[in-house]
Amino acid sequence: MAYTRSESQTLQQILQELSQLDQAGDIPRRIVLSRQALEMLSRKEQPELWAFLQVELANILVQSPLGDRSESIDLAIGHYQQALQVYTRAAFPEEWANIQNNLGNANTNRILGERAENLERAIQHYQRALEIRTREAFARRWSVTQNNLANVYLERILGERAENLERAIHHYQQALQFYTCEDFPQDWASIHHYLALTYKERIRGERAKNFESIIDHLLQALQIYSRDAFPKAWAMIQHNLANAYSERIDGKRSQNLEQAIHHYGEALAVYTRDTMPEDWARAQNCLANAYCERIRGERAENLERAINHYQQVLAVFTCEALPEEWARTQNNLGEAYLKP
């Protein structure tokens, strides 16, 4: 396909404008320009530019908040697959691996289709990416894909649940070989948080040791997620830490419950009824449960505090809005009144 001078100038203008646009902004314009350029380009005559724009358009569609999200993701998958006609593993191994990783992300987030099948495809794409993204050659990208693969195994539907969780733990630990606290503090903290969530669900291993791992990983994450810098993440980890202490097997039961009460209180410093009502209500409910079981202090006072927290929960967990939570809280409240 030969371009006229006018067509060539138009294509150059489109490509120039596209290159000048902010990657994080003006998504509609970037989509329009990418599509216009692709309509004018020939895969046979300019294969690399054609493939590059296929990937560019796919990346834009994945991050686009506009239109039907499910349709955008599927369109992106189609453009990534088109690009693979040019970016083959043999000719362009790095680009091929990048697209495989992106296809893994797209299938992980895919809305259409069976969730189980989407996750299986994501695993396959991530594993393909790791054929090129080795720790020695592409350390950071290797770690990114390891982390992505861990996230999928944590959510995986097919296969044995116990084995999926073990694989998730393995891939998170692999990612931590690169994501150190010193060099990548937020990534490091995030992985520790996800490791805690994985150990919470873990089926294998000693239950007591799993709870110690949960607590350890959450405390690691709190080194980075401070209340001032990351208030929501800090509060969520405080809540999870409280849950872990409330179920902890090792240590004295009385001290574990005191730790749980402390951390629920910390979470409630951020979870307010006005700003985060459901999170606030759940923390209030858990705090009430802890006071029902509390060993230290006056028994009568502990039960009064539990009743007070349950009653506060009912201001958010109403019968009309959240009937199951309302019924559960009513039951807990009734039991608190009957406790000796």
Nearest to 287 by CA among 337, 323, 237, 246: 246
**Residue 262 pLDDT class (50, 70, 90 cuts):** very high
DSSP-derived secondary structure for 96-129: HHHHHHHHHHHHHH--SS-HHHHHHHHHHHHHHH
- pLDDT of 60-97, one tens digit each? 899 877 778 999 999 999 999 999 999 999 999 999 99
Among the residues of the chain, which ranges form H helices? Answer: 5-20, 27-40, 47-63, 69-83, 93-109, 115-132, 139-155, 161-175, 185-201, 207-222, 231-247, 253-267, 277-293, 299-313, 323-338
Residue 9: predicted pLDDT: 75
pLDDT in tens, 302-326: 999 999 999 999 999 999 999 999 9
102-114: pLDDT as tens digits: 999 999 999 999 9
Reported for 60-68, long-range contacts at CB under 8 A and 24+ positions apart, including other chains, are: 60/27, 60/30, 60/31, 60/34, 61/31, 62/102, 62/105, 62/106, 62/109, 63/27, 64/27, 64/31, 65/27, 66/27, 66/28
Question: Residue 287 burial (CB < 10 Å; 0-12/13-18/19+)?
Answer: buried
CA distance 129 to 145: 7
| 3-class DSSP assignment, residue 130 | helix
pLDDT of residue 289: 97
Range with lowest mean pLDDT among 6-10, 77-81, 270-274: 6-10
Q: Are the CB atoms for 172 and 196 separated by under 8 Å?
A: no
Angle (nearest 5°) at CA 182 between 142 and 130 = 5
8 A C-beta contact, residue 66 and residue 32: no
pLDDT band at 339 (very low <50, low <70, confident <90, very high): confident
Per-residue model confidence (pLDDT) at position 33 = 85
Q: Determine the pLDDT at residue 19.
A: 75
Q: With a cut of 90, say whether residue 252 has pLDDT above it.
A: yes
**In this structure, are residues 97 and 141 in contact, taking their beta carbons and an 8 Å threshold?**
yes
- 131-134 contacts at long range (C-beta below 8 A, 24 or more positions apart): 131/89, 131/97, 132/89, 132/93, 132/94, 132/96, 132/97, 133/97, 133/101
Instruction: Supply the pTM of this predicted model.
Output: 0.90
pLDDT of 22 reads 66
Helices 69-83 & 93-109, crossing angle to 10 degrees? Answer: 160
> Which tokens sit at 262?
């402390």
Return the half-sphere exposure (C-beta side, CA atoms, 13 A cut-off) of residue 293. Answer: 18
- Candidates 140, 145, 54, 143; CA nearest to 97 is 145
Question: Which tokens go with 273?
Answer: 């009824």
Six-digit token string for 20: 């000048």
| pLDDT value for 7 | 60
Per-residue confidence (pLDDT) for residue 254, from 0 to 100:
98
Contact 188, 176 (CB under 8 A): yes
- Burial (CB count within 10 angstroms: exposed 0-12, middle 13-18, buried 19+), residue 248: buried
Task: Render pLDDT for 165-223 as a digit per residue (tens, 0 to 9).
Answer: 999 999 999 999 999 999 999 999 999 999 999 999 999 999 999 999 999 999 999 99
Choose between 38 and 102: higher pLDDT. 102
Give pLDDT, residue 65.
Answer: 72
- How far does CA 243 lie from the centroid of its chain? 20
